[in-house]
Structure 1
Amino acid sequence: MKGTSNASWALVLLLWLVSISGAWGQEVSPSQCQDEIRRGIGVCMAVVMGQPPSAACCARVRATHAECVCPLVTPEVAAMIDVDRVKKLAEGCGRNIPPHFKCGSITIP
């Protein structure tokens, strides 16, 4: 079950990385955040299995607000993530990640 948890956190980070451009400053309720993350994990699970993000996954991550995901990026989560891989996946969805962007416990190189 620990692998499933790690996979979920990897998807949460993917959602965060793809959503960072232009998503700050909008009012988002806690229930909306939970829904966005749940939906993202649902449509992006294949990414954990090594597949590239699908069109549906990319669409979902573009709709996810950074405010929902950044608080979840703890040191424990950061230790489970290959940030370079996630950055490449995010760029594959059409999002550029600004250099030295910091969110939670991760700073993008």
Structure 2
Amino acid sequence: MHEAKVVHGQPVSPGRCKEEVRLVTNACRPVVFGKAASPGCCERVRVSHFECVCPMFTPKLATLLNVNQVIKLLQGCGRRVPRRFKCGSLNFP
């Protein structure tokens, strides 16, 4: 059985996390291939919970991404990146 993740003191259901991953993956897929983030991608980046999305960054996916580009994407979409943040297999400076 899946446990609910706790976000800002409130539980987020596994179903909601799964939906957030699906939405951010679909909206931001072009970014992995070097495209600029669309307004829809930025919206997903702003509202998605790190606790839900970070597990999707497996070692295999992390090898395809440049951490500096991910930071630029997050910041460009208005999302703060904590220092020394670990998001799945991505390690931020």
Which TM class, normalised by the smaller chain length? Answer: 0.7 to 0.9
Q: Secondary structure of the residue that 1:95 maps to in structure 2?
A: coil
Corresponding residue for residue 48 of structure 2:
64
Contact 1:28/1:67 (8 A) holds in 2: no
36 and 103 in structure 1: CA distance in 2 versus 1, 3 angstrom threshold: same
Comparing both structures, which one devotes a greater share of its residues to helix?
A: 1
Alignment of 1:41-56 (within 5 A): 41-56=25-40
Highest RCO, 1 vs 2 (Cα 8 Å, sep ≥ 6): 1
Corresponding residue for residue 10 of structure 1:
none
Mapped partners of 1:33, 1:83: distance in 2:
23
Comparing both structures, which one devotes a greater share of its residues to strand?
A: 2
For structure 2, list consecutive stretches of 5 or more residues without a partner in the other structure. 1-6
Q: CA deviation at 1:24?
A: 4.6
- TM-score normalised to the size of structure 2? 0.74
76 and 44 in structure 1: CA distance in 2 versus 1, 3 angstrom threshold: closer
For structure 1, list consecutive stretches of 5 or more residues without a partner in the other structure. 1-22
- TM-score normalised to the size of structure 1? 0.65
Aligned residues: 87
Percent sequence identity over aligned pairs: 48
RMSD after superposition = 2.0
